[in-house]
A = this chain, B = another copy of it.
Amino acid sequence: MKNFEGHALPGCYFLTVGVLWSVKHPIKYLMQRKNENISKNKWYQYLELLEGLGKVIIALVGILAGQFIPEGPHLHLYTEDHKWVDLLTWTHGTMYFTYGLAGLVDILIPLPLGLPPGLDRFMLSQALCVEGFLFYFHAHHRLALDQHIHSLMLVAIFGGAFCSLLEVFMRDNPVLELLRTTMFLLQGSWFLQIGFVLYPPWGGPGWDQTDHGNIMFLTMCFSWHYLGALLLFIINYFIVYWYVVGPGGGRTVCADMTVMSPGLCQ
């Protein structure tokens, strides 16, 4: 992980999931407003299955790649003289494993095994909690700037964990889906930002660790990433709205809704 690629890979993973959700959730929400229960749609169910499979496969690849790259621990946890072998890789493997487990539950939920409906959100929240827990101790004993930008990540991780836990009890709430999506986008883009700050891909040393201005800028930059994630979601919402409801369709849908529950469209 001590290079640009090591931060770019998880960054792209979280960004991809976030962009996917920023399209999927508006589609689901707008279809439901049109009284079409998309969760019974075959293609939608395949998509959900693919999402779970994707998580499992990426987790497996992440664990195996970390273990079996030439400088990896090759499944050794400690050496013969009782020294720990490459604990960082084992830590990353643990994080991948929890996301893999969450993906496995995503796959099992639709099967007739009687699993309770909120379990997938719960496993996601637990994966984020474990990641945040490991990240928290991970960020100790570093230089000021390095520690600061790793600590900011905890806001995105625990924000997502809190949101997923709420979704166990309030499933399909569009505001919580928005929050979860933006937290994933924020985590992804912030991983990339860390990579650019500490290990610039065009070579050269990272940013000056001791400059207080850098810390001030990156704090503000973190909120820009969040606002960017919000704006991306909003833009995708309107693109989806255009395709699902169609131009001028808003009024029609709204009229339909008003018949059923007057007062909904003010």
Contacts and interface: CB of A to CB of B under 8 A. Distances in A.
Contact of A134 (B33, B37, B116, B223): B223
Nearest to A141: B212
B114 A217 contact: no
Interface string A124-149: 00100010011001000100000000
20 contacts: A29-B114, A29-B116, A40-B263, A40-B266, A84-B213, A87-B216, A94-B220, A94-B223, A97-B227, A111-B250, A112-B265, A113-B238, A113-B241, A113-B250, A114-B254, A122-B178, A122-B179, A134-B223, A141-B212, A169-B170
A210 interface: no
Interface in A158-177: 168-170, 173-175
Contact of A45 (B111, B170, B216, B266): B266
Interface residues on A, range: 35 or more
Contacts of A37: 263
